[in-house]
Chains A and B, each alone.
Chain A
Amino acid sequence: MGAIRLDMTMSLDGYVAGPADDADNPMGLGGFRLFNWLDHREEKGPHGDAYAEMTASQAFISGRRTYELANHWDGDLHGGMPVFVLTHDVPDEPPPGSIRFIPPVHVCAIPARVAAVVAPTSVLGAGAAQSLLNAGELDELELHVVPVLLGQGRRLFDHLRTDPVTLELVRRGSTPEVQHLRYRLGQQT
């Protein structure tokens, strides 16, 4: 089975969106600044490598908030890839297309790892990331750390209830635009 990987672009001060993020402005105030590095996504080198891997996933785990903000991807994310949505409150209506509601994190992690044979299953959204971290079900972190301070916004690492977790830096792509840092999660200490 493969890995569950969180792939996120974050400011140095830890935000994945600016303040006042909502359906009309999902990145919040100033948050789109985080994605400037994607202008280089077709280039050879660290940016191109990071983007290629980011888009290689064959399955996804999403939080409910991201699922709603993305308008359910109209039931079709990247050509019908499976999306496992973590939610405390499963709607009565079945989800559209290739989307599945699998609320318990530990249960969700099983098909997510099965689907990760070709490429790691990707986690969408800070909420899902926090649920997986709290459940000890996250295998890898790929952080794209942008040289900017947003000051306020939506934090990636928040509401964590875990004991400290050791990480191992397994790859680093350093550029002026962003630090691409891949960490493997180790044991809780």
Chain B
Amino acid sequence: MSVVLYMSMSVDGFIAGPGDELGNGLGAGGEALHAWLAAGDGSPGSYRPENGPNATVFDEMIATGAVITGRRTFELAHGWDGDHHDDVPVFVLTRSEPADPASGHAHYVTDLEACVAEAKAAAGDRDVMVHGAATAQSMLRVGLLDELAIQLMPLLLGQGRRLFDDLPPELHELELLRSLEGPGVLHLSYRVRRTS
């Protein structure tokens, strides 16, 4: 089992356009980042592409046994109404735990390492899905991310929120696991290797 980051990213490296906020989670022009998904009704499972490589990758994503996400991503997504997929636990990283518990299958956690350990334990022999740029950056900094599953979208957004930002000048070698072209998207999977 692996801890895998799933993110749709434009060719110029953005995972949301400018002005991403509650009610417009993907920012200006950012909806195009999800063009590889089917039109859904708000619950993540309803966005399954019909078939082909896009469906394959989607199915892998929702076969994960736990989700780790950041508070910001979680709130912009309205907490996925308490269930990301199949009732798996959702661990929401936050600096300070709110007084009210998170909805549904979500839990707030403040310690990254403990969070990853809990998510792995909950997932058993399934992968853990990571979602959100800030969370990805935190996990890359301390070497807790095993794989990157990037849905590279044929698009230049020009501005917005970058996936890879605020990282130290530290070289990480990646190993290509798969390059899979689907309609309107290139799925790139890499294993993260910690060097130096």
Contact = CB atoms under 8 A, between A and B. Distances in A.
A143 B11 contact: yes
A147 interface: yes
Best-surrounded residue of B156, B157, B168, B173 (most CB of chain A within 10 A)? B156
Nearest to B173: A148
Given A147-B176, A157-B12, A189-B29, A166 B154 contact: yes
Contacts of B188: 12, 145, 179
B174 to A, nearest CB: 4
Interface stretch (A13-21, A70-78, A92-100): A13-21
Contacts of B12: 14, 156-157, 160
B167 A152 contact: yes
Interface residues of A, number: 40
Contacts of A14: 12-13, 162, 164
B95 interface: no
Contacts of B162: 14
A151 B168 contact: yes
Given A19-B169, A160-B12, A12 B174 contact: yes
A40 interface: no
Interface string A152-171: 11011100111111111100
Contacts, number: 111
Interface in B157-172: 157-159, 162-164, 167-172
Interface residues of B, number: 34
Contacts of A52: none
B154 A183 contact: yes
Contacts of B150: 12
B171 A163 contact: no
B155 A165 contact: yes
Contacts of B157: 164
B168 A162 contact: no
A172 interface: yes
Interface of A: 12-14, 18-19, 29-30, 33, 133, 141, 143, 145, 147-153, 155-157, 160-169, 172, 174, 176, 179, 181, 183, 185, 189
Given A12-B148, A148-B173, A172-B179, 8 more contacts: A12-B174, A30-B169, A133-B158, A145-B188, A168-B154, A176-B176, A181-B186, A183-B11
9 contacts: A13-B13, A14-B12, A147-B175, A161-B158, A165-B155, A165-B156, A183-B11, A189-B29, A189-B32
